[in-house]
């Protein structure tokens, strides 16, 4: 007999997935310990588990997988072959439809790349509070991207809008937004993407200073403090329109003790996912739920409540640390909507984490 852990290791399915398929009657263990509830599998079930893992990776619907496994175990090769061929035809039809849609989208994209640019000043010079800029960089730096295929995300956006400097970073899976008050011309408008190494060099100059000078001149940005400066070329790309992304549908809110909640996340239950993260690895997930009375809970493995939201545990810990407050607000909406982590004293400084699909 194989334990559930051995079956997970040898089949490519996670322990939580095996439990899910047991509850759904798809792959039922040969024996369950009546005292501990621990699942045990016959050696012959390993082939079925491996087949199940492959079919799920191929995107076959669960209803067809049930029949596929029944045919496999009963040596009904005709049923298995017909189900396989039907799924391949669906995939081919879906690929054809996707190619057609992407062809249309490519044409739309080419037209959008040619409009007149929005009027923005090519240069701006501001006096910025050093502590506020330091806090803003600390709040967003963790979310900057590292994917060479998306170089426009490989830095921190400095968005000068009159008397406010907005600081933004995103790697698609998370986004962080902060701001610092700035003293400059009221009509100043400029956007530059500061490469991450340069943003780090700027951050190093801010300790112990009251105010610093920030200058944007075309594709060059300079931060000056006394006789020291950090300067360099900006990334020659357009940053996504972050202002559209921060408008989230209303969700339930919970105020948490940041340190205690971080420890609960660090030591709490973990789930797994079918989706890979930015490092092409399946991340550990923390599953959250906000109850009607405004309490946030970490959902145990096996709880399939539809209101729960799963997020990358490492990203959640980073966002909580970047919040830099004793108490933080967690805002959780639909399972497909990002969760937001806000500061009680400044809700415009926030981190957003994309939800992750649970492994099923």
Rounded CA-CA distance 172/278 in Å is 9
Kindly indicate whether the domain formed by 2-88 is annotated with CATH number 1.10.1660.10.
yes
List every span in the chain annotated with CATH 1.10.1660.10. Answer: 2-88
Structure token pair of residue 221: 């940005």
Question: What is the dotted CATH code of the domain comprising 248-353?
Answer: 3.10.150.10
Question: What is the dotted CATH code of the domain comprising 123-243?
Answer: 3.10.150.10
Q: Is the dihedral of CA 334, 336, 337, 338 positive or negative?
A: positive
List every span in the chain annotated with CATH 3.10.150.10. Answer: 123-243, 248-353
Per-residue pLDDT of the chain (360 residues; tens, 9 = 90+): 889 999 999 998 888 889 888 888 888 999 999 988 899 999 989 999 999 999 988 888 888 888 888 888 777 788 888 888 999 998 888 888 888 888 888 877 777 665 544 444 467 888 999 999 999 999 999 999 999 888 889 999 999 887 889 999 999 999 999 999 888 877 778 889 999 999 999 999 998 888 999 999 888 999 998 889 999 999 988 888 888 888 877 778 889 999 999 999 999 888 876 555 555 567 788 988 887 777 888 887 655 566 788 899 999 999 999 998 999 999 988 778 889 999 999 888 999 999 887 755
End-to-end Cα spacing for the chain: 24
Strand locations in 291-345 (E)? 296-298, 309-312, 327-332, 339-343
Taking only Cα atoms into account, the Rg of the chain, rounded to an integer number of angstroms, comes to 25
């Amino acid at each position: 007999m194989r334990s559930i852990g051995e079956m997970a290791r040898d089949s490519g399915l996670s322990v939580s997935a095996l439990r899910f398929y047991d509850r759904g009657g798809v792959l039922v263990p040969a024996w369950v310990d009546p005292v501990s509830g621990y699942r045990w599998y016959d050696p012959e079930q390993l082939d079925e588990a491996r087949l199940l893992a492959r079919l799920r990776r191929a995107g076959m619907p669960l209803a067809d997988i049930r029949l596929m496994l029944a045919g496999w175990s009963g040596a009904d090769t005709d049923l298995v072959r017909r189900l396989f061929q039907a799924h391949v035809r669906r995939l081919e039809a879906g690929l054809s439809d996707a190619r057609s849609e992407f062809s249309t989208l490519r044409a739309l994209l080419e037209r959008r790349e040619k409009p007149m640019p929005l009027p923005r000043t090519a240069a701006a010079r501001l006096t910025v509070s050093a502590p506020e800029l330091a806090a803003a960089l600390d709040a967003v730096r963790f979310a900057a991207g590292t994917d060479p295929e998306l170089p426009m995300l490989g830095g921190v956006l400095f968005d000068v809008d009159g008397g406010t400097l907005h600081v933004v970073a995103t790697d698609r899976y998370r986004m962080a937004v902060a701001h610092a008050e700035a003293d400059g011309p009221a009509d100043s408008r400029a956007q530059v993407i500061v490469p991450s190494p340069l943003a780090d060099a700027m951050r190093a100059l801010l300790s112990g200073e009251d105010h610093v000078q920030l200058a944007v001149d075309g594709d060059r940005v300079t931060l000056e403090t006394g006789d020291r400066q950090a300067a360099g070329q900006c990334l020659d790309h357009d940053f996504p329109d972050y202002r559209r992304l921060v408008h989230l549908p209303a969700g339930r809110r919970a105020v948490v003790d940041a340190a205690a909640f971080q420890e609960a996340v660090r030591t709490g239950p973990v789930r797994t996912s079918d989706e890979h993260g930015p490092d092409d690895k399946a991340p550990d997930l923390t599953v959250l739920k906000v109850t009607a009375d405004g309490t946030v809970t970490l959902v145990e493995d096996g709880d399939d409540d539809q209101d729960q939201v799963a997020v990358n545990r490492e990203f959640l810990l980073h966002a909580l640390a970047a919040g830099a407050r004793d108490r933080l607000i967690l805002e959780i909406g639909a399972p497909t909507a990002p969760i937001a982590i806000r500061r009680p004293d400044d809700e415009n400084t926030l981190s957003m984490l994309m939800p992750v699909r649970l492994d099923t």
